[in-house]
Every structure is written in C-alpha cells, then in structure tokens.
Structure 1
Amino acid sequence: MKAEEIVSRLLYRDALMLVIDKPAGLPVHPGPKGGETLFHHLDSLRFGLPRRPEVAHRLDKDTSGCLILGRHPKAVARLNELFRKGEVDKLYWAVVEGGPEAEEGEIDLPLAPKSPDRGWWMKVDPKGQPSLTKWRVLGRAEGLTLVELCPVTGRTHQLRVHCAAMGFPILGDPIYGSAPRFHGPGLHLHARSVSVPLYLKKPPILVEAPVPEHMRERVAACGVVPGGAAELG
C-alpha cells in the first residue's frame, strides 16, 4: 500500500487526533512473521508535525474501519485515559451466519486465552476476564443477519468469540467460524463508528467509516443500504 492510499483513507483530523479507515488485511502492529503493517505508513500521517502519530487502540488485521491515532504524546495520553475509563464508544457492523432470534440483547461471557502457544486465540472460560457485548439486529437475509455490536469491554477477539459462542459466528471468520483459512469471503466485521469525548466543553466527535467493498453485497442483502460517505466529525 502506498503512502497516498493511507492518506486517502483519512476520515477525521484535528490538532490532537486522527481517525482513519483501516483496510481489512492490514495489521496495525508488526508481528513475528514480518510483512507490511500500518506502522510502516505512520510517517505519511504526520501532516507537518515533527513526530509520527501513535495508534490509540487495536483492530484485528482482518477487521476494517475506524482506527484512532493520537498526533503527539499528550494527545495519546488523553486518548489512553478515555479508553481506560470506557468513555470512547465503538460500534461495529458484522454479518453473521444464521443469527439470533431476538432483535437485541447482551452477551456476557468471560474470555481467556485458548492455549499458552497461541495467546491471541480466545475461548469462553468461567475463570477468564469479564467480557460484555451489546448487540442489535439491523437486517436479515436468507441464512445471514446484519448485527450492530457494541463492545462494553475490549478483550482480544471479543466480538468474534462472543458471536461464535452464541451460535452465529461472523461470516468469513476462519478461526471461530466456518470459513476456510484461504480464499474465504473475508471477515465481515467492520468498525463502523467511534464517538470520542476529546474536548471537555464540546460534544463528542462522531466519525463513521463506509462499509468496505467485500461486505457491501451481503449488507445490502440484509436490507441495509451500505452508503459511501463517512462523517468527518
């Protein structure tokens, strides 16, 4: 991915914060296997500042959508505080296999690492960390449901494990769902919006990311017009 492609995915910018529309398939941080990551493109997001921005939270490699970055150390510290206090609202869209019978609800299942060898693979475990996800149905199609997911806690793979544990895994999930590891439809999980109360005397900054190309057909099949424009805060 070229620097200008990352810049073109900018959704919001002010003196403290950037929000970009992270593409599916691009890891946020370098891993043991190497390869291209967002970290390699941060210099192109300086916009005149002497330091590169820093990522304020994480998104899985195969999850697309809103990713928040702080533009300098004080901004990063402020964002970290907001995340620690649970004051940043994040909403995800997911197309799931099958779907819940109800129209909304909560998933309250503790999570823990599946094994010491793969610490980022998670499982439901009564002895794990408390994990809570709120959800509501946005639309339905034959064998599929579009759900809005709100993670109250922020555990690794929380949304993917919670949906799978309830019997409606996220479409395209090769770890917790039925998708093949290669040549599948792509993970249908998208960080649709973030709401950040960054400034004390101003309303929260709301930023929305357009539905990615690989999800649009099935989102539309569920009766929701994907749309192309994002809110610019």
Structure 2
Amino acid sequence: MRGRGRSGGVPAAPLPQRDGIDPVRVRLPENPEGVWTTVGDHLVARFGGAIGAARVEAMLSGRRFVGTDGPVAADEPYGAGRFIWFHRDFAPEEPVPFPVGVVYRDRHLVVADKPHFLATTPRGRHVTETAVARLRRELGLPELQPAHRLDRLTAGLVLFVVRPGERGAYQTLFRDRLVRKEYEAVAPYDPAREFPVTVRSRIVKERGVIAAREEPGEANSESRIELLEHRDGLGRYRLSPATGRTHQLRVHMNALGLPILQDPVYPVVEAEGAADDWSRPLQLLARALEFTDPVTGVAHRFESGLRLSALP
C-alpha cells in the first residue's frame, strides 16, 4: 500500500494492512475556535469517548498514530487538513470454521464462494473474520474490494475487484441491475401454492432493528420464485431477485408462508446466539452470477460449488 496515492489528493497510507484490514484514516478538521492546540488534544477529544483518553494517550506514546512524515507526537501543533492513520485494536473473534473458495480469478476479478456465517466486509464485531480480509491475506491482494455484499448468514458467490480504479465499473453493474442473480433456498413445501410466482412489496429496514418488514405503499422489491423439486415436506426453490433490498428473499419467502429453513429472524427473531449455531446454517445460497464484464467485455456466468445441506 505504500507509495501509491489515491484520488482526491489523499496520500497513500504510510501503514500497511494488518490482518487484511486497512488502517483507520483521520483528517484533522478546521479549528476556527482554537479548541485544539495540539494534535494530541484533538485525538483525545475525538476518540477518548470510544476507547478512553488514557488509551489514546498510550497510543500516542507508543507512536501508533502516523502521518505522512512518520509517527505523530502528542504535543505537535494542530494543523487542519492533515491526514493521520492508526490501526484499531481488534477484539478477539472466533474463527468461522469454513473456507472461502475461489471460483474464478483473473487480473480484474476474484469470484469467491463465501461460506455461511462469514461476513463479506468488516462490520460491528466481525472485522478480521470477513471474506474480504481473508482473501486479501490468502491471495496476497491487499487492495481487493467487494463489488457488492452478501448477508453474513447467506452462502455463495461474491464478486471482488482486484484493482481499486475498476471497482466503480463493477459496482455500477449491480446498481443498474445488469447482473442476473440466482439464489437457491430450502423451505417448506405447500401443495396448495402454485409456482412460479413473482412477489412485489414495499420492504423497510430500520437501523438497529434485526428484521425488515413489509408495509403498504409502492413496491420497492421484486423476486421471482420457482419450485425446483419437493420431497419429505420440503421444497428446493430458485429465487431470482430483480431488486436488492436487505433480507429481500427471506422476507418474500416468509410472506408466502414458506420461511427459509433455519432462518433465525423470519418468521420469529430467535434468541441471541441462534444465528451463530454452525450446525444450523440458513438454507439460502447465492447460486449464480451472470453479467458482461464492463472492463474486458467478456460474458461471464459463475456458479457456486456449495450445496445446501437440508435437502441433499
């Protein structure tokens, strides 16, 4: 990561990644009232509430805050606009005991088979145990970035971009719905329900609330659902989302009265910890991705090598 500048006049980070995670970048804001006399004053005020003033001071003493010219001292005069980097202290994470498979790799893309229970990107308590951090470490690709995200509890295909400058082109594919996505799910079988069916509804997801919900109003989500086979009271379904709302497929299957097997949220939010029972993975798999590569012009179709365990 050293020696490579970024767009917008932001210098390259002087610190390498740690465990596949970039250092935190801080830009010192304007200081019209002269509240902060030194860099240390600002850093303590900014981060002291989250990690404690004593911890920030210890990090300064340990030369853990670094600028483009080297470690930052607590008593350096404050200067607005300056960039400073540091590494967060990662809380211990229980390793997810399943590998990340690589389905395809070239100079532009990595298409990975993400296992159940592994987050795509760092968020909350999942930081180093994420697909992007693992792949950066395992493939030696420190600049790897996802073009989209897959729920932590959902397994299957995720597309990663090797070159940061090309990420926008691949993200645009997903934004403009130019990627054909197919999922597979195992859920109860209802002989009275006819398939295929297209479900359209308005889905709302509030910050801090685990479950999304449907409400009256203009539809903002659409999924086509097909029954592939059924036996022993269970069905295998192909799910083709036309939109990408949070938990969309899980919400739509639940709305049909066919909640996806081993879903810890729909129809009822289960007790804390139920979502991390590795013996009961959510029976939802991102099975296929199909698109025309915006960089090379090649038509791609990728299929997951994973299988759902509830209906082998």
The two structures have a TM-score, normalised by structure 1, of 0.80
- Report the Cα offset of residue 210 of structure 1: 2.0
| 8 A contact 1:17–1:75 mirrored in 2 | no
- Report the Cα offset of residue 121 of structure 1: 2.4
User: Deviation digits for residues 29-70 of structure 1, max 9, x if unmatched?
Assistant: 2222345222321323555x5x42101111111110101001
Higher strand proportion, which one?
1
User: Deviation digits for residues 125-158 of structure 1, max 9, x if unmatched?
Assistant: 1247610001111101122111000110000000
Of the candidates 126, 135, 139, which is equivalent to residue 42 of structure 1? Answer: 135
- Report the Cα offset of residue 205 of structure 1: 0.5
Equivalent residues in 2 for 1:183-202 (5 A)? 183=277, 185-199=280-294, 202=297
Instruction: Sort the Cα spacing of 1:168 and 1:78 in 2 relative to 1 into closer, same or farther, 3 A.
Output: same
User: Deviation digits for residues 86-129 of structure 1, max 9, x if unmatched?
Assistant: 1011100000123472131100111002x4532x5210112476
Instruction: Work out which structure has the larger RCO, using CA pairs closer than 8 Å and 6 or more positions apart in sequence.
Output: 1
Aligned residues: 210
Stretches (4+) displaced over 3 A:
177-181, 199-203
Q: Write the distance in 2 (CA, Å) between the matches of 1:40 and 1:125.
A: 37
Q: Which runs of 5+ in 1 are unaligned?
A: 221-233
- 1:208 has 2:303 as partner: yes
| 8 A contact 1:110–1:126 mirrored in 2 | yes
Instruction: Sort the Cα spacing of 1:71 and 1:99 in 2 relative to 1 into closer, same or farther, 3 A.
Output: farther
- 1:72 has 2:163 as partner: yes
Structure exhibiting the larger radius of gyration computed from Cα positions: 2
Q: How much is the aligned-residue C-alpha RMSD, in angstroms?
A: 2.6
Name which of structure 1's ranges 94-103 and 155-164 shifts more when overlaid on structure 2. Answer: 94-103
Q: Which amino acid aligns with 1:134?
A: R
Q: Which runs of 5+ in 2 are unaligned?
A: 1-94
Instruction: Sort the Cα spacing of 1:128 and 1:157 in 2 relative to 1 into closer, same or farther, 3 A.
Output: farther
Match of 2:262 in 1: 172
Q: Write the distance in 2 (CA, Å) between the matches of 1:88 and 1:75.
A: 16
The two structures have a TM-score, normalised by structure 2, of 0.61
Match of 1:31 in 2: 123
Match of 1:83 in 2: 174
Identity of aligned residues (%): 29
Match of 1:111 in 2: 203
Equivalent residues in 2 for 1:47-58 (5 A)? 51-58=142-149
Instruction: Sort the Cα spacing of 1:73 and 1:99 in 2 relative to 1 into closer, same or farther, 3 A.
Output: farther
Q: Which amino acid aligns with 2:130?
A: T
- Report the Cα offset of residue 179 of structure 1: 8.7
Instruction: Sort the Cα spacing of 1:116 and 1:65 in 2 relative to 1 into closer, same or farther, 3 A.
Output: closer
Q: Write the distance in 1 (CA, Å) between the matches of 2:166 and 2:246.
A: 24
Q: Write the distance in 2 (CA, Å) between the matches of 1:196 and 1:45.
A: 26
Of the candidates 104, 125, 128, which is equivalent to residue 12 of structure 1? Answer: 104
User: Deviation digits for residues 143-178 of structure 1, max 9, x if unmatched?
Assistant: 211100011000000000010011100001010036
Instruction: Sort the Cα spacing of 1:62 and 1:201 in 2 relative to 1 into closer, same or farther, 3 A.
Output: closer
| 8 A contact 1:136–1:149 mirrored in 2 | yes
The DSSP-based 3-state class of the residue aligned with 1:219 is coil
Name which of structure 1's ranges 33-42 and 165-174 shifts more when overlaid on structure 2. Answer: 33-42
- 1:142 has 2:232 as partner: yes
Q: Which amino acid aligns with 2:208?
A: D
Match of 1:225 in 2: none
Instruction: Sort the Cα spacing of 1:210 and 1:200 in 2 relative to 1 into closer, same or farther, 3 A.
Output: same
